[in-house]
Amino acid sequence: MKPTNTLFSSLGTTIFTVMSQLAVEHQSINLGQGFPDGNGPADVRTMAATFLEDRPNQYPPMMGDPDLREAVAVHAQRFYGLDVDWRQEVMVTCGATEALAACLLGLINPGDEVILLEPLYDCYLPMVRLAGGVPKFVQLKPPHWELPRSELTAAFGAKTKAILINSPMNPAGKVFTEEELAFIAELITRYDAYAICDEVYEHLVFDGRKHHPLMCQPGMRGRSARIGSAGKTFSLTGWKVGYVTAPPAILHTAAKAHQFLTFTTAPNLQRAVAYGLGKDDSYFRDLADDLQRKRDSFAAGLSRIGFDVPPTQGTYFLNADFSGLGFDGDDVAFCHHLTTVAGVTPIPVSAFYEGAGPRTFVRFAFCKEDDVLAAALDRLARHFGKK
Residue 33 binds which entry of ligand PMP, ligand GLN, none, CB below 5-8 Å type-dependent: ligand GLN
Query: Are the C-beta atoms of 244 and 69 separated by less than 8 Å?
Result: no
Give which of ligand PMP, ligand GLN, none residue 229 binds (C-beta under 5 to 8 Å, depending on kind).
ligand PMP
Considering the complex, state which of residue 33 and residue 268 has its C-beta at the smaller distance from ligand GLN.
Answer: 33
Of the two residues 30 and 139, which places its CB atom closer to ligand GLN in the complex? 30
Q: Which is nearer to ligand GLN, 44 or 120 (CB)?
A: 120
Rounded to whole angstroms, the Cα distance separating 213 from 3 reads: 43
Site of interaction with ligand GLN (CB under 6 A): 16, 33-34, 170
Torsion of CA 17, 316, 138, 158, to 10 degrees: 100
Nearest to 200 by CA among 317, 372, 320: 317
* Closer of 22 and 82 to ligand GLN (Cβ): 22
3-class SS at 195? Answer: strand
Which of ligand PMP, ligand GLN, none sits in contact with 118, Cβ below 5 to 8 A by type? none
> Between 93 and 217, whose beta carbon lies closer to ligand PMP?
93
Is the CB of 63 or the CB of 96 nearer to ligand PMP? 96
Short-list 311, 294, 331, 254, CA closest to 90: 254
Tell me how far, at minimum, the Cβ of 386 lies from ligand PMP, in Å: 31
Q: How far is the CB of 33 from ligand GLN (least distance, A)?
A: 5
Alpha-helical runs (H) found in 55-120: 66-80, 86-89, 95-107
Note the residues at the interface with ligand PMP (CB under 6 A).
Answer: 95-97, 121, 166, 170, 198, 200, 229, 231, 237, 240, 242
Partner that binds at residue 198, options ligand GLN, ligand PMP, none, CB closer than 5 to 8 Å by kind: ligand PMP
What is the secondary structure of 118-138 as a DSSP string?
ES--TTHHHHHHHTT-EEEEE
Cα–Cα dist 257/119, whole Å: 26
What is the Cα–Cα distance from 223 to 195, expressed in whole angstroms?
6
* Least separation in angstroms between CB 166 and ligand PMP: 5
Please enumerate in sequence order all residues whose Cβ is within 8 A of that of 163, keeping only pairs 6 or more positions apart, or say none: 114, 115, 116, 117, 184, 187, 188, 193, 194, 195, 196
Q: Of ligand PMP, ligand GLN, none, which one sits near residue 268, judging by CB under 5 to 8 A according to partner kind?
A: none
Sign of the Cα pseudo-torsion (190, 191, 194, 197, in order): negative
16 contact, one of ligand PMP, ligand GLN, none, CB 5-8 Å limit per kind: ligand GLN
Nearest to ligand PMP of 105, 305 (CB atom): 105
Q: Which does 199 bind (CB under 5 to 8 A by kind): ligand GLN, ligand PMP, none?
A: none
